[in-house]
Amino acid sequence: MKRVLAAHCLLLSLRCGAEAGTIPKPDPSAYNLCAGCHGLDGTGMKVGDLKLAPSLLESPIVKGDPEWFALVVLKGITKESDTHLEFMVPQELSLDDTQLATVLNFVRSEYGGKAAPVSVEQIAAIRAKYKDMTDSITRAKLAELAKAKETPKATP
Ligand code: HEC
């Protein structure tokens, strides 16, 4: 798989830099963890007029930088409105790096408009970077982190 991807990078000049490493195949069974709230089709499990959780199909977090998607699943995302009935639970302790990469890759390929896959090594680095973060992530914090990442560092 790794070799196939590398060949694609050479042949098609894909932006493969970030995806180098071990890329687990998107496995639908990994999504069992999420389906109870986000629904079997990713649109959010309905309860009458309400939903347990938001649709993943329109989520910019799912399609975007895998760092934010991984963080949301590792730490959970703080509930800031009563639009959805459930809570996004932190899964840091229940998923190892391969399992997390597998579920993210399934969601990104199935509901994320074929967003680029994530490697086990990327997940390991993200987990290590945020190991001291004990609270669930907030949307404001995500925006702040994203802004800091985009802003080029001052030259030393
Ligand atoms: C117990 C229910 C529950 C489970 C299980 C769950 N989620 Fe969530 N998730 C939520 C709720 C509720 C929110 C919305 C939180 C809020 O903003 O109030 C959410 C938010 C999200 C978001 C942010 C969406 C956005 O852009 O607003 C993503 C991405 C996400 N979940 C992915 C996942 C993935 C992937 C899994 C499985 C590994 C998963 N969730 C498992 C309940 C759940």
User: Hey, which of 37, 74, 82 would you mutate to test ligand 1's pocket, going by the most ligand atoms within 8 Å of its Cβ?
Assistant: 37
Burial of 155 (C-beta count, 10 Å sphere; 0-12/13-18/19+): exposed
Q: What is the pLDDT of residue 1?
A: 47
Q: How far is CA 96 from CA 6, 39, 78, 120, in A?
A: 25, 23, 22, 9
| pTM as predicted | 0.88
Mapping DSSP to helix (H, G, I), strand (E, B) and coil, where does residue 46 land?
strand
Residue 4 lies in a domain: no
Residue 28 lies in a domain: yes
Mean pLDDT over residues 17-27, rounded? 79
Cα 94-95-98 angle, rounded to 5 deg: 160
Residue whose CA is at the smallest distance from ligand 1 atom 7: 88
Residues in the chain: 156
CA dist., res. 47 & res. 134, Å (int)? 31
Output the average pLDDT for the chain.
Answer: 88
In the reported structure, the alpha carbon of residue 53 is separated from the centroid of ligand 1 by a whole-number distance in angstroms of 6
How many domains does the chain divide into? 1
Q: In this structure, how many other beta carbons lie within 10 angstroms of the beta carbon of residue 5?
A: 16
Residue 3 lies in a domain: no
Q: What is the CATH number of the domain that holds 92?
A: 1.10.760.10
For the CA of 100, the closest atom of ligand 1 is 38
pLDDT digits (tens, 9 = 90+) for 29-85: 999 999 999 999 999 999 999 999 999 998 999 999 999 999 999 999 999 989 999
